[in-house]
A and B are shown apart, each in its own frame.
Chain A
Amino acid sequence: MIEKLVLRLQRLFFAHRLATLAALAVFTVVMGAFAARLTMSAGFDKQLPQNHEYVQTFNQYRDVLFGANRIIVTVHAKHGDIWNVKAMTRLYEVTQALFFMPGVDRRTVTSLWTPNTRAVQITEEGMKAEDVVGGDVTVKSLTPEAIAGIRERTVIGGFIGSLVANDSTSAMVVAELADPDPATGKRLDYLDFSKRLEKEVRDKFSDADTQIQIIGFAKQMGDISEGATSVIEFFALAFVLTAIAVYWYTRSLALTFLPLVCSLVSVVWQFGTITLLGFGLDPLAVLVPFLVFAIGVSHGIQQVNYIAKEVINGADGYTAATRSFSGLLVPGTLALITAFVGFATLVLVPIPMIRELAITASVGVAYKIVTNLIMLPVLASYFRFDNAFVERAGRMEGLRNRLMAGLGVHIANPRNAALVVIGCTVLFGVAVWQSQGRHVGHVLPGAPELHNDSRYNRDVEDVVSRFALGLDLLTVVVETPKDGCYRYDTMAYVDRLTWALANVPGVLSAQSLPVMAKLASSGVNEGNPKWAALPREELTLGEAVRQVPEGMRLFNADCTVLPVNLYLADHKASTIKEVVAAVKAWRSAHPMEGVTVRLASGNAGVQAATNEIVEHSELPMMLYVYATILVLVFLVYRDWRAMVACCVPLTLATFLGYWFMKSLDIGLTVATLPVMVLAVGIGVDYAFYIYNRLQMHLAHGEDIVTAFKQALREVGVATVFTAVTLSIGVATWSFSALKFQADMGMLLTFMFMVNMIMAITLLPALAVTIDMLIPRRGPVRAPLMAH
């Protein structure tokens, strides 16, 4: 029945070749028009599991809480310290530049030069506050004496460590961003803002004596967006490398042109689809076209391989193309469906970025059925192949056959097969053992999306080392009844919570309104430390609370939100997990009516949510993919041996991948979770190609050893070559400016190669060993996928 359907489709497409191609061309032009409107986005929100408790807290309060909208620019004196006219002038200029920059909330700009920086001294007469710069000092009248005064007031005001570096070599300008813009309601364009900071601040004020460093969420997002665009260049590189590889393989310009163009067409369709779905190109989604392109080329190789073989055997271009079409439609579709199902299971991960990736990747793979299985052979039917090609290709084929036959002889040999199986069993054990304690989440310091040696992360490292500044922030949000900050019981509750959390290992410091109010209370009582407690009377408590600067974001306007900011030693999953567990334990042990303790905002808070999701999603994802593969293998071969022979090498490869991740400090993240799933979905293709041939030879009555030698000879080279083309496409990511893209590239390359090696070594060895140990009784069915 399937044969009839294939034949009917072949007549349909090849009888109307021109119409088919014209229709495809029109579709490509339309999709191309949509593709041209693709926009780049940092996609920060899409990385977060939006329905997770912590992320909902984060979304609800992100505009109220500390940190998200903060930008920090430091002026660093390369030689000596900042207490000189030149550096102080630079600091003034940077302060001014930030003050006038669109997107900056002017009221919040703070540096030594701004009037909101005041030194408060407690004297017998009461509190005495004066501007740190001093009322009569201007940038034009700076003298060493004036600077000495500024320096003294900086120390008195306690700005060492906050506005001035501990070693006085840097000074800081801090500002909050007006995001969304209060006038227009539009969200700030981080990419644009980041570029502006580069041009109008860093480039303008950097010189031989001055280094400008910029950190903050907006800058980080800007750098990520910029880094993501650099991947486009790698696409060109991958294209050229693939073209060279395909030409080396086919030795024919026509046969190189076909898979490349058809794969490119499907990428255009995919870009168009992304735009139509309204997704935009985030740093994770930008990789999908590479993958789709690579999958396209590797399946295209099957087509040109088939066509070349037919041509070598004497067929003309048209006949070869029609035969290739009908020969590969069914197996090609099945292989693509496996990959499709593998990708589609990722939709179950409740993280929008992975969902979008799942959708775009599945759509891309589905398009392959049209571009590679229909468009390619129809297009190929117009090409003519001369005798020189036939001779060249024939010679190549002979060479490759001998190579693979050699491998086949060694591996299909029962004794060697047993040795390979034993060796791989040991390797399996080691891989399982070594992959224990794999990291979840991000491991290295700084912005995890960017490389350690990226400018942003170097700036972060410098600034953190010079200032008393924590970067890994987990905010516990305490919701209280209205005016919670004027009530002793709620304030004391938050105070105790703060101290309890300050004691959790991994927490460097804990900040909250009551902690600051206690200091303020001491301040209004002549600075006496014995008064550093929360006043019990509402009015006195209010007086203390009013001393706490609004800019610290430790309470909201109606005092219903009292966050506890925890600065962590790092953002490793184990560190965050311990803090989260402590918060949960505390809130259930100390319930208070009307008060809710919510997890969690801050970069570490949202990371906690993402870590929980990826950690809990991984195993089910893998099980779904493996179950899908087992079902498909069973449907195709109706043989338990096939299920074992196909899935065991795949499992070994997966654990080798885990081992690889652990030794390279690649954590399980939003980026790497899909990689492992994709690798299994694509890796099974190799097993299909090889096992399919084996089954066919077995069905013809050959014994297992002979059958395998034949199978390896016929498809071994194609399999190796497919893995190589796939790897080329993803290996270029390793050069990406974004760390997680590089991680994904390395991991995928590793997985493709390992899966291929497993398919041509462990798979045959396993099949032979099983047949030796448990001989087959009945005859073998011919496979459905007749390559």
Chain B
Amino acid sequence: MKRNLVAAALLCALAASAGAADAPQPAVPAISARLAARVPITAMSRAGDTLVAVGDYGTVVLSKDNGKSWKQAHSVPVSSLLTAVSFADAEHGWAVGHGGVILKSEDGGENWVLLQRVADEPVLLSVSFVSPEHGFVVGGYGTALQTRDGGASWTKLKVGEGYDADLHFNQILATRDGSLLIAAESGAAFRSRDDGATWTRLQTGATGSLWGGLQLKDGALVLYGMSGRVLLSRDGGNTWKTISSDTEQAFAAAVQSGDGQLVLVGGGGAVAALASGAERLSVNIREDRQNLAAVAVAADGHVLMAGQNGILDAETKKP
């Protein structure tokens, strides 16, 4: 919390001098790279059967063969760190990143256009579209935005009160019952049941930051984050239960594989699995100990992981 105070003070100081600040730099397009799939990867998702991963230097890489081979997207207009990607269907996708950039693709991830550079260039951390028109973006220092026209125009959402309004919102997700869930800093989580108009702070019982969340096939909600914390709620977020784990490493991403197993990846090479119905995480620390940041399930059921050194070779774990 102390850090947030400092950061807030810094922001004020900067805001005062904002008038003199440089005009936004014309964006430098992504570097076309031989080793694009080795760039630090922050998020991975799917557009139909195509795997899409985003990361540093405006890199977007695609795999049409379930992660065996990767190819860099044809054109991306920015070279800053991309942090999240979301596809509403096989063609329409959005990506966000540092510098307040919101990108859109209409061809399954090959070509991207810069929709918006959000004012004050906040760090955007998550994007989620519930339909090709309706989507949400959240980010650092209380940034939360909504669009109803496919990203052409965005309106601010007000999430949290007081200190809460300045927290980093790490991930936003839409649950199948139509509510929205935000995983945030310092153990905070928020829920909206009216498309973002009003938000409730949930009692997670966690102190460390929650980096993400997902809804399992059986409807249960999962939040995860620092100190190896994994929380489970079977009542739409009203109450949370801690799943015990043997690691202090933070979990950065999670996915549910075809067999219903929850797979989490995180710092220091941590890979954890929770079989459906199990009470305890089984944690495995990879020998290379690299920080992992993304995980996805390919169309054929393979679980793909990525992190500091890019996309890891496809795991041979089949459903």
Instruction: Please say whether chains A and B are actual partners in one complex.
Output: yes
A→B interface (CB under 8 Å)? 121-124, 126, 155, 158, 160, 489, 492, 495-496, 499-500, 502-503, 505, 518, 524-534, 536-537, 539-540
Interface centre among A489, A499, A500 (most CB of B within 10 A): A499
Interchain CB contact (< 8 A) of B307 among A121, A495, A529 = A529
Option from A126, A503, A528, A533 in Cβ contact (under 8 Å) with B98: A533
Nearest-CB residue, chain B, relative to A540: B10
B250 near A526 (CB under 8 angstroms)? yes
**Distance in angstroms between the alpha carbons of A121 and B307 in the assembled complex:** 19
Q: By the criterion CB–CB under 8 Å, are B227 and A124 in contact?
A: yes
Q: Are the C-beta atoms of B80 and A500 separated by less than 8 Å? A: no
Which A residue's beta carbon lies closest to that of B122? A536
Count of B residues near A, CB < 8 Å? 46
Known: A123-B227, A499-B57, A531-B123. A536 touches B99 (CB 8 A): yes
Q: Could you say which residues of chain A place their CB within 8 Å of the CB of B123?
A: 530-531, 533
Known: A496-B57, A529-B291, A537-B10. A123 touches B248 (CB 8 A): yes
Chain B CB count within 10 A is highest, among A492, A505, A532, for: A532
- Asked if B188 lies at the interface with its beta carbon under 8 angstroms from chain A, I say no
* Of B32-40, B104-112, B129-137, B295-303, the one with at least 4 CB within 8 A of chain A: B32-40
CB–CB B125/A530 < 8 A: yes
Contact of B56 among A533, A536, A539, A540 (CB under 8 A): A533
Cβ–Cβ < 8 Å partners of A525 in chain B: 168
Residue-wise, chain B 43-58 has the 8 Å CB interface mask toward A (1 for contact) of 1000000000000110
Q: A155 to chain B: which residues have CB within 8 Å?
A: 289
- B42: contacting residue among A126, A503, A529, CB under 8 A: A529
Q: How far is the CA of A131 from the CA of B83 in the complex (A)?
A: 34
**Nearest chain B CB to A526's CB is how many angstroms away?**
6
Chain B residues whose CB sits within 8 angstroms of the CB of A539 once the complex forms: 10, 13-14
- The distance in angstroms between the C-alpha atoms of A122 and B7, with both chains bound, is 18
Residues of B within 8 A of A496 (CB): 28, 31, 57, 79
A220 to chain B, nearest CB (A): 31
Q: Known contacts A123-B227, A499-B39: does B80 contact A533 (CB below 8 Å)?
A: yes
Residues on A with beta carbons closer than 8 Å to the beta carbon of B40: 529, 532
**B227 near A503 (CB under 8 angstroms)?**
no
Between A124, A500, A528, the greatest number of chain B beta carbons within 10 A of the residue's beta carbon is seen for A528
Quick check: A533 and B81 within 8 Å, CB to CB?
A: yes
Q: Which residue of B lies closest to A519 (CB)?
A: B308
**What is the bound-complex CA distance between A131 and B34, given in angstroms?**
40
B284 to chain A, nearest CB (A): 16
Cβ contacts A to B, 21 pairs, < 8 Å: A122-B226, A124-B207, A155-B289, A489-B25, A499-B31, A500-B31, A505-B34, A524-B3, A526-B226, A526-B250, A527-B250, A528-B250, A529-B252, A529-B291, A529-B293, A530-B42, A530-B125, A532-B40, A532-B56, A533-B56, A539-B10
B9's closest neighbor in chain A, by CB? A539
* A-B Cβ contacts below 8 A, count: 95
Interface pair A532/B121, CB less than 8 Å apart: no
Tell me whether B211 is interfacial, beta carbon within 8 Å.
yes
**Cβ contacts under 8 Å, B258 to chain A:** none
B267 at the interface (CB under 8 A from A): yes
B170 in the interface (beta carbon within 8 A) = yes
Closest A residue to B253 by CB, please name it: A529
The answer to whether residues A526 and B42 also contact, given A123-B227, A505-B34, A532-B56 and a CB cut-off of 8 A, is no
List the A residue with the shortest CB-CB distance to B307: A529
Q: How far is the CB of A742 from chain B (nearest CB, A)?
A: 39
Q: How far is the CB of B35 from chain A (nearest CB, A)?
A: 5
Contact string against A for B residues 1-14, beta-carbon threshold 8 Å, 1 for contact and 0 otherwise: 01100010010011
The answer to whether A499 touches B227, judged by C-beta atoms less than 8 angstroms apart, is: no
Complex CA gap A126/B211 in Å reads: 16
Contacts A123-B227, A533-B98, A539-B10; is A528 near B81 (CB within 8 Å)? no
Cβ contact of A499, chosen from B33, B248, B252, cutoff 8 A: B33
User: Which residue of A121, A502, A505, A526 is within 8 Å of B209 (Cβ)?
Assistant: A526
> Closest CB-CB distance, B70 to chain A, in whole Å?
14
- Decide: B267 and A527 in contact? CB cutoff 8 A: yes
A155-B249 Cα distance, complex, nearest whole Å:
13
Residues of B within 8 A of A524 (CB): 3
Q: Which of B52-103 contact A (CB under 8 A)?
A: 56-57, 79-81, 83-84, 97-99
Of the candidates B98, B208, B293, the one having the most CB atoms from chain A within 10 angstroms of its own CB is: B98
Minimal beta-carbon separation of A503 from chain B (angstroms): 5
Q: Using CB atoms, name the residue of chain A closest to B124.
A: A530
| Complex interface: chain A residues within 8 A of B293 (CB) | 529-530
Residues of B within 8 A of A (CB): 2-3, 7, 10, 13-14, 25, 28, 31, 33-35, 39-40, 42-43, 56-57, 79-81, 83-84, 97-99, 121, 123, 125, 168, 170, 207-209, 211, 226-227, 248, 250, 252, 267, 289, 291, 293, 307-308
Given A123-B248, A124-B227, A536-B121, output 13 extra A-B contacts at Cβ < 8 Å: A124-B226, A158-B289, A495-B57, A496-B79, A500-B31, A503-B31, A503-B34, A518-B81, A524-B3, A526-B226, A530-B81, A530-B293, A533-B97
Most A Cβ at <10 Å: residue of B125, B207, B291: B291
> Hey, which chain B residues are within 8 Å of A158, CB to CB?
289
Chain B residues with CB below 8 A from A529, complex form: 40, 42, 252, 291, 293, 307-308
Q: A527-B250, A528-B170, A528-B252 are in contact. Are A503 and B10 (CB under 8 A)?
A: no
- Decide yes or no: A527 and B291 within 8 Å by CB, A123-B227, A124-B208, A533-B81 being known contacts: yes
C-alpha gap A676/B271 in the complex (Å): 61
A163 CB to nearest chain B CB (Å): 15
Q: For the complex formed, measure the closest distance between the CB of A652 and the CB atoms of chain B, giving whole angstroms.
A: 44
B34 CB contacts on chain A under 8 angstroms: 503, 505
Residues on the A chain within 8 Å of B207, using CB: 124
- Inter-chain contacts of A526 with B (CB < 8 A): 208-209, 226, 250
- Residue of B with least CB distance to A166: B287
With CB as the reference atom, state the residue of chain A lying closest to B252. Answer: A529
Could you tell me the distance in whole angstroms from the C-beta of B243 to the nearest C-beta in chain A? 17
Q: How far is the CA of A526 from the CA of B207 in the complex (A)?
A: 13
Q: Which B residue's beta carbon lies closest to that of A156?
A: B268
Contact B83 A530 (CB under 8 A): yes
Give the chain B neighbours of A495 by CB distance below 8 A.
57
Bound together, the chains give a CA A160 to CA B28 distance in angstroms of 37
**Closest B residue, CB atoms, query A533:** B81
Closest 5 CB pairs of A and B: A124-B208, A533-B81, A529-B293, A533-B98, A530-B83
Q: Which residues of B contact A503 (CB under 8 A)?
A: 31, 33-35
- CB contact under 8 A between A532 and B81, given known A496-B57, A537-B14, A540-B10: yes
Once bound together, how far apart are the Cα atoms of A635 and B115, in whole Å?
A: 81
Residues from chain A with Cβ under 8 Å of B308 in the complex: 529
CB distance from A298 to the nearest CB of B (A): 56
What is the distance, in angstroms, from A446's C-beta to the closest C-beta of chain B? 27
Residues in A with CB closer than 8 Å to B209 are: 124, 526, 528
A168 to chain B, nearest CB (A): 13
Closest residue of chain B to A499, judged by CB? B57
Please give the distance in Å from B185's CB to the nearest CB on chain A: 8
Q: Please give the distance in Å from A154's CB to the nearest CB on chain B.
A: 12
Closest to B99 in A: A536
Chain A nearest CB: distance from B162 CB in Å?
21
Q: Distance in Å from the Cβ of A98 to the closest Cβ of chain B? A: 29
Provide the bound-state CA to CA distance between A124 and B206, in Å.
10
CB-nearest residue of chain A to B83? A530
Given contacts A536-B99, A537-B10, contact A500 B252 (CB under 8 A): no
**B25 surroundings in chain A (CB, below 8 A):** 489
Instruction: Write the nearest CB–CB distance from A387 to chain B, whole angstroms.
Output: 84
Nearest residue, chain A, Cβ from B292: A529
Min distance, Cβ A160 to any Cβ of chain B, angstroms:
8
> Which A residues are CB-close (under 8 A) to B39?
499
Measured CA separation A496–B227 after assembly (Å): 33
Expressed in whole angstroms, the Cα–Cα distance for A518 and B84 within the complex equals: 17
> For B35, what are the chain A residues with a Cβ–Cβ distance below 8 Å?
502-503
A537 to B22, CA, bound (A): 11
A161 CB to nearest chain B CB (Å):
10
Q: How far is the CB of B312 from chain A (nearest CB, A)?
A: 14
